[in-house]
Chain A
Amino acid sequence: MNLQDTMLDILLVEDNPNDAELALHALRKHNLANRVAWVKDGEQALDYLFKRGAYAKMNGLPRVVLLDLRLPKVDGLEVLAQMRTRPETREIPVVVLTSSKEDRDVVKAYELGVNSFVAKPVAFAEFSRVVAELGMYWVLVNRVPPGLGSPS
Chain B
Amino acid sequence: MTERPSAPLLPWAIFAAFTVALALVGLYLYQAIRDTRHAEVEAGLKAIADLKTDQLASWLADRRDDLGYLGKDSLLGRDFDAWLRHGGQDAGRLATIRRHMETLVMAGIYDRVILYDAGGQPRLERGGSEVMAEHEAAVREAMRLGQPVLVDFHRDGNGPIMVGMVGPLTMAANGGDRIVGALYVGQRTETRLFPLLRKWPLPSQSGETVLARREGDQALLILTRKDPPMSRRIPLSSQDVPAVRALRGESGFMENARDYHGDPVLAYGLKVPGTPWVQVAKQDQSEGDASVHRAAWQVAGVLTLLLAGAGGTLGFWWRARESRYRHRILKQELNQAVAAQEAAEALAASDENYRILAEYSPDWAHWLGPDQRYRYVSPGCESVCGYPAADFLADPGLMARILHPEDLPTWKADLEETPDPLHPAHAPLALRIRTRAGEERWIEHVCRDVYGSDGQYRGRRGSYRDITAARQLEQERAQYRRQLEAEVDARTADLKASNGDLEAFAYSVSHDLRAPLRAIDGFVAILLEDYAPSLDAEGRRLFGIVQENARKMGGLIDDILAFSRASRLALEVATVDMNALMDEAWAGLAEARGKRAIEFRRADLPPVAGDPRALRQIWQNLLGNAVKFSRGREPAVIEVGGEAKDGLIWYWVRDNGAGFNPDYAAKLFGLFQRLHSQDEFEGTGVGLAVVKRFVDKHGGRVEAEGALDAGASFRFGLPETSPNPFEKRSDL
Contacts and interface: CB of A to CB of B under 8 A. Distances in A.
B is a partner of A: yes
Interface of A: 16, 18-19, 22, 25, 70, 98-103, 120-125, 127-128
B15 to A, nearest CB: 121
B511 A99 contact: yes
A22 B550 CA distance: 16
B230 to A, nearest CB: 177
Q: Choose among A98, A99, A101 the residue with the greatest number of B CB atoms under 10 Å from its CB.
A: A99
A18 B511 contact: no
Contact of B519 (A22, A98, A123, A125): A22
B249 interface: no
Contact of A102 (B510, B516, B554): B510
B113 to A, nearest CB: 187
Nearest to B521: A124
A99 B522 contact: no
16 contacts: A18-B515, A18-B518, A19-B518, A22-B518, A22-B522, A99-B514, A99-B518, A100-B511, A102-B506, A121-B554, A122-B514, A122-B521, A122-B551, A122-B554, A124-B522, A124-B524
A124 B527 CA distance: 12
A25 B565 contact: no
A86 B550 CA distance: 41
A14 B284 CA distance: 177
B70 interface: no
B56 to A, nearest CB: 170
Interface string B522-565: 11111000000000000000000000001101100010010001
A100 B508 CA distance: 9
A19 B524 CA distance: 13
A86 B553 CA distance: 41
A25 B518 CA distance: 13
A100 B518 contact: no
Nearest to B565: A103
Nearest to A15: B515
A16 B518 CA distance: 11
Given A18-B515, A22-B522, A101 B510 contact: yes
Say which size band chain B's interface belongs to: 20 to 34
A70 B517 CA distance: 17
A120 B514 contact: yes
A99 B565 contact: no
Contacts, number: 65
B507 interface: yes
A58 to B, nearest CB: 29
A127 B565 contact: no
Nearest to B557: A122
Contacts of B518: 18-19, 22, 99, 120-122, 124, 127
Contacts of B554: 121-123
B507 A102 contact: yes
A25 B516 CA distance: 17
Main secondary structure of the interface of B (DSSP, over half): helix
Nearest to A103: B565
Contact of B510 (A25, A100, A125): A100
Contacts of B565: 102-103
Nearest to B558: A101
B515 A19 contact: yes
B613 to A, nearest CB: 9
Contacts of A19: 515, 518-519, 522
A16 B558 CA distance: 20
A99 B515 contact: yes
Given A99-B510, A102-B507, A122-B554, A22 B523 contact: yes
A125 B511 contact: no
B529 to A, nearest CB: 9
Contacts of A101: 510, 558, 561
A25 B523 CA distance: 10
Contacts of A125: 525
Interface string B41-64: 000000000000000000000000
Which 7 A-B residue pairs are closest in the complex by CB-CB distance? A122-B554, A124-B522, A18-B519, A124-B525, A22-B522, A99-B514, A124-B521
Nearest to B519: A18
A127 B526 CA distance: 12
Contacts of A122: 514, 517-518, 521, 550-551, 553-554
Given A100-B510, A124-B521, A124-B526, 17 more contacts: A16-B515, A16-B519, A18-B519, A18-B523, A25-B522, A99-B510, A99-B514, A99-B515, A99-B518, A102-B510, A103-B565, A121-B518, A122-B521, A122-B550, A123-B551, A124-B518, A124-B523
Given A18-B515, A123-B554, A100 B526 contact: no
B202 to A, nearest CB: 153
B521 A123 contact: yes
A125 B550 CA distance: 13
Contacts of A100: 507, 510-511
A149 B675 CA distance: 62
A128 B530 CA distance: 14
Interface in B444-465: none
A70 B511 CA distance: 8
B437 to A, nearest CB: 66
A123 B507 CA distance: 19
A100 to B, nearest CB: 5
Interface in B492-519: 506-507, 510-511, 514-519
A122 B525 CA distance: 11
A147 B558 CA distance: 43
B522 A127 contact: yes
Contacts of A70: 511
B486 to A, nearest CB: 30
A25 B526 CA distance: 9
Contacts of B526: 22, 25, 124
B504 to A, nearest CB: 11
Nearest to A120: B518
